[in-house]
Amino acid sequence: MPFWEEKTLEEMSPEEWEALCDGCGRCCLVKLEDEDEGEIYTSDVRCRLLDGESCACTDYPNRQAKVPDCIKLDPQNVRTIGWIPKSCAYRRLAEGRGLAWWHPLVSGDPETVVQVGVSVRGRTINEKDVKPGEWEDHVADWPDWEPPEGF
């Protein structure tokens, strides 16, 4: 039985935990908060450390030192952070939904994340390229889209 089906998130080794990441890059999109309403919006703007084509962090080991608001996901906070995408493996497992068929650990192919439209590859702009006053122009609804089962 695969480790993600026999272990809880808390029981996973650091290597197993990291393997759950499907590499979509959605968690590395900049979130905007409406100060009046407290509502969180996801943008199509990526963290300056996220490579827009590979969807990999260019300095993963040092990301929290270089980007102070970078949040390291763990078994506790994946259950409480509301902006984690519905498609995220950590969220899906925390909610008891299992991994999606397109997840690389299930499909055996890291490209299925791109093929079903979950990946941010080629769909974002680097935060360094957004001018003050233009952030609201980048609010996007696609980052929370989740492919239906069997899509």
Residue 31 in this model has a pLDDT that exceeds 90: yes
Secondary structure of the chain: what % helix, strand, coil (to 5)? 35, 10, 55
Q: What digits encode the pLDDT tens for the residues 61-110? A: 999 999 999 999 999 999 999 999 999 999 999 999 999 999 999 999 99
Residue 10 in this model has a pLDDT that exceeds 80: yes
What lies within 8 Å, CB to CB, of 48 at 6+ separation is 67, 126, 127, 128
Residue 111 in this model has a pLDDT that exceeds 80: yes
Domain boundary assignment for the chain: 3-141
Q: What is the pLDDT of residue 14?
A: 96
